Structure 1
Amino acid sequence: MSATPLFDVREFGACGDGRALDTDAINAAIARAARSGGTVVVPAGRFLCFSIRLASGVTLLLSEDAVIEAADPARHGGAYDLPEEATGELFQDFGHSHWRNSLIWGIDLHDVAIVGPGRIEGTGLTRDGPGARWRRDTGERPLSMTGMSEAEIRALEPEEQAMIGRGNKAIALKNCCRVTLRDFTIAKGGHFAILATGIDELLIERLTIDTERDGIDLDCVTRTRVRGCRVNSPNDDAIVLKSSYALGAAIACDDVVIEDCTVSGYDAGTLLDGTRGRTQQLAPDRDRVTGRIKLGTESNGGFRNIVIRNCRFERSRGLALETVDGGLIENVTVSGLTLREVTTAPLFLRLGDRGRGPVGTGVGAIRGVTIEGVEASGIDHRFAATIAGLPGARIEDVALRDIDLTYAGGGTVADGERRPPTLPHAYPEPSMFGITPAWGLWVRHAAGVRLRDVRLATETHDARHEIVTEDAEIERT
């Protein structure tokens, strides 16, 4: 068997000095490797680039001490590839709807890989982008953003014209199969460090990501494995499954395993420098720092056959399983989670009716969820573990086993007397209901909730009840 051909980007004119643009040289090496398949080698050096276009049958190898740096259109005399015409942008934001406007992108490819141990630095990328064109009185933004001025919103969500020539993703992939991302580091990934949409047979393992917005976004993917990754993202979600309308149809995330990963909300950049800073208190949505694993918010197609196991959350929001756009969450198994410094609810299951989708989008469902072997401490006292469905659309068949949650405590009698509104159309976040009436577990509009070996405690006295239910059937053993 012959060895895989190697194509060094320096042989195609790359300088790697951090000053000259190496975009054309790297793209030329990829085009050459694509003729017969092979590995494009990025050696030690700093390679300043605009959009790099992946190709089928090609591996991009980032060698030790190799850095691909995202160029800045304002400083480096160039531009990122233009965003393609979107088919479903009405129902999700600009970032989810485009892939070409990225540092590294691939569409309709097969057998493609990016491997380490080098580094991608998104210094010239932007974290911003327009929101969805869909509008409703509620549901587009978290309630924690209520009261922000139009100028503050525009700063986070600029007009689409302002994005022309700019890049807002480190890696973007669409409609590909047999993709591997392994052993490299991403610093400052833009809106998404990785956006993978409609990918089949995706393997992401041993990545380190320290970014200013989303870490790994898996949208409408199938047969996907995320293993041994470390993702720090104080301003947004670290590892998140979505099932948006970006491909023009409601497509489920199916057969996904996330295992042996650590997510966190330390100050941006302080995972990589080792200081693990705790200066930042709030994310841009004016809730506490994020950095979690989540299903949703985009949830048109739903999520099924999902496994999350042996993961650690540090200074982050807790696990969230959300469907609010008509999709079904079914057959989800979560086990072996450790959470420290939990900035909102440790567990949050939400069935809502935001309905961001075509006319006729109805309420989805959550059923067949098992969560076991969870140990959490340092939990914000305001937000109990929450299972919240809707009147007439209850969450069903949820098992909580071997759960150990320790809250800060401090809730008042008045807190315990609160009866939050159902808020069916609101954006789902644990803080949406305000302080929960229970300090440990709050269950409303749910049936078939089974608790076994669930241990709840507080560090200081809390005047609320440990467990509060409303229109709920729970069994505790």
Structure 2
Amino acid sequence: MRVTRRDVTLGLAGGLLPVFPAHAARYYDVRDHGARGDGIAIDSGAINAAIAAASAAGGGTVVLPRGRYLCFSIRLRSRVTLLLGEGAVIEAADPARHGGRYDLPEAGIDQLYQDFGHSHWRNSLIWGEDVEQVSITGPGLIHGLGLTRDGPGARWKKQAGERPLSMQGMTDAQIAELEPDAAAMQGLGNKAIALKNGRDIRLSGFTILKGGHFAILATGTGELRIDGLTIDTDRDGIDLDCVRDVLVERCRVNAPNDDAIVVKSSFALGRAITSENILIRDCDVSGYDMGSLVDGTKRTTQEIAPDRDRVTGRIKLGTESNGGYRNVRIEDCRFTRCRGLALETVDGGVMEHIVASRLTMQDVTTAPLFLRLGDRRRGPEGTGVGAIRDVVISEVDARGIDHRFPAALAGLPGHPIADVTLRDVHLLYRGGGAAADAARVPAESPDAYPEPSMFGVLPSWALWSRHVERLTIDGLRAQTMTPDQRRPFLFDDVRHLSVRNTPLWR
């Protein structure tokens, strides 16, 4: 029996209708185009044929009923919904085992100022370029078994700032294992879903397990909504690069080895583009062992990420920041066993009009809040320093924080972070800092890769601020679980400071 519109409505394909009503006019069952769904045959050709048929008819819904569909690259087209039914699994094929290859990465990419993964889209399990009114929806699973998480780094010649300082002790062989040569990537897939440009796109309801370098990479994309996804992956979860008008809500993203939800503004499209008008709300991010969010065990055996720092899994703006960020809201989100909120611009972009509110954090592996204006300048000649201004962070409750990493605001001499408000913030640290650490004067490290650990153990345990202008603190409560020998606050080159309703303030 083949899927009809009535079958979809009644639940054969998951009980979901397309989010674009016009797509409900025509349904295309991938089995009618030769898909087997047996986990043995390669079904990407059949799925692509169904997508092409729907597109040629002016749009429609391509349905994957229950089954395991072994695939290489699936190519999205405009005005097509891909509906993953209950029990439907798209499995990423492995070129080493399955006698095929992914679409080749685009040729002629400069790739000076961002790594291979950010610079290519077609070498993915599912990809779309310049598509409009596209949806992937349904309760099914995308399982990236045959994807790789690795890829070459940027070809930028200035090596300072290219990698976190925590990786300094790694050998060339260890770096090469994480960053193979570009020639080794031919035929491999390193992203579950990649979108380049395009507009009016919806991703909802499904699960991604082991998504490669990026579970989702959206570059230059507008009017994007990501809703109700579960992502449990081996590197980045959701990467939003040079995007505009984006909503991410009700997603669960587990990413112990890299960032869970991250906004970037790289040079991947050949020019500096601001990421703007973005709302991230009601999401859970975490750093459990990979795979243990999906299976429900939420294991915690992994302690160290590939950058030799503690597990990641956070929400971040940065590190790629050529175009900057404007009008970003992060609200009602929960962080568990991961790094805290990071707001970073180091490649010349301006970060402004940022609001983060109603955040809860448990078992914070580095700083709960980290604002960094740096001077890496990974960009073309003439790239400047950038700026951070107009940031409001409120109603934050963070507990179980590593004592080495207070909340930190770090600008540069002559380039202060400006107009920051911290309101109703509660921080509970593990404690244990030594008196000797109170005398430390961290290096400026202007061109270093931005991470809370870049400064080492800091000389205060609750809040450390340097090179900040117009800082307002209203209702910051900080505690330690065990005694800490450092002062709670340290302000260095902070002008126009206002502190209210803060018990530890002297």
Q: Would you say same fold, with TM above 0.5?
A: yes
AA matched with 2:37: G
**1:13-24 map, 5 Å:** 13-24=34-45
- Mapped to 2, the partners of 1:265 and 1:187 lie a distance apart of 14
Kindly state the Cα deviation for residue 85 of structure 1 after the two structures are TM-superposed: 2.3
The CA RMSD over aligned residues, in Å, is: 0.8
Partner of 2:423: 401
C-alpha separation in 1, matches of 2:166 and 2:191: 26
Structure 1 moving runs of 4+ over 2 Å: 85-88
Q: Quick one: structure 1 residues 456 and 120, their matched pair in 2 at CA, closer, same or farther if it must change by over 3 Å? A: same
Per-residue Cα deviation, 1:421-458 (whole angstroms, up to 9, x for no partner): 00000000000000011100000000101000110110
Alignment partners' CA distance in 2, 1:87 and 1:13: 35
2:430 and 2:281 map into 1 onto residues whose CA distance is: 28
Question: How far does residue 475 in structure 1 lie from its aligned partner after superposition?
Answer: 1.2
User: Which one of the candidate residues 340, 343, 347 is aligned to 1:325?
Assistant: 347
Give the letter for the 1:250 counterpart: A
In the other structure, the counterpart of 1:475 is 498
Q: Quote the Cα distance in structure 2 between the aligned partners of 1:86 and 1:332.
A: 35
Q: Distance in 1 between matches of 2:457 and 2:351?
A: 26
Q: Decide which of 106, 110, 113 is 2:132's aligned counterpart.
A: 110
Of the three residues 50, 53, 56, the one matched with 1:29 is: 50
**In the alignment, what sits opposite 1:216?**
238
1:359-402 Cα offsets, whole Å, 9 max, x none, are 11110000000000000000000010000000000000000000
- Could you tell me how far 1:96 is from its partner in structure 2? 0.2
* Match of residue 26 from structure 2: 5
1:137 deviation in Å? 3.8
Matches within 5 A, 1:27-426: 27-35=48-56, 36-426=58-448
Is the Cα–Cα contact under 8 Å of residues 86 and 98 in structure 1 kept in the other structure? no
CA contact (8 A) 1:88 1:247 kept: no
Matched residues in 1 for 2:238 and 2:107: separation?
Answer: 23
Question: How far has the Cα of 1:147 moved from its partner?
Answer: 1.1
Q: Secondary structure at the match of 1:375?
A: strand
Q: CA deviation at 1:135?
A: 2.1
TM-score using structure 2 length: 0.94
Query: Identity rate of aligned residues, in percent?
Result: 64
Matched residues in 1 for 2:255 and 2:138: separation?
Answer: 21
User: Cα offset for 1:86?
Assistant: 4.7
Give the C-alpha shift of residue 88 in structure 1. 4.2
User: Deviation of residue 113 (structure 1)?
Assistant: 0.6
- Amino acid in the other structure paired with 1:429: E
Contact between 1:325 and 1:364, CA under 8 Å: does it hold in 2? yes
What is the CA deviation profile of residues 222-269 of structure 1, one whole-angstrom value per residue up to 9, with x for unaligned ones?
A: 000000000000000000000000000000100000000000000000
Residue-by-residue CA offset, 1:271-325 (whole Å, 9 max, x unaligned): 0111111100000000000000000000000000000000000000000000000
Unaligned 5+ runs, structure 2: 1-20, 501-506
Q: Distance in 2 between matches of 1:48 and 1:316?
A: 33
Paired residue for 2:3? Answer: none
Q: Which residue identity does 2:50 align to in structure 1?
A: A
1:59-78 Cα offsets, whole Å, 9 max, x none, are: 00000000000000000000
Show structure 1 runs of 5+ residues with no match.
Answer: none
What letter is aligned with 2:172?
E
Give the C-alpha shift of residue 129 in structure 1: 0.2
Q: Whole-Å Cα distance in 1 between the matches of residues 151 and 94 of structure 2? A: 16
Task: Give the structure-1-normalised TM-score.
Answer: 0.99
Which deviates the most, 166-175 or 80-89? 80-89
Q: Which amino acid aligns with 1:409?
A: G
Write the distance in 2 (CA, Å) between the matches of 1:222 and 1:272: 30
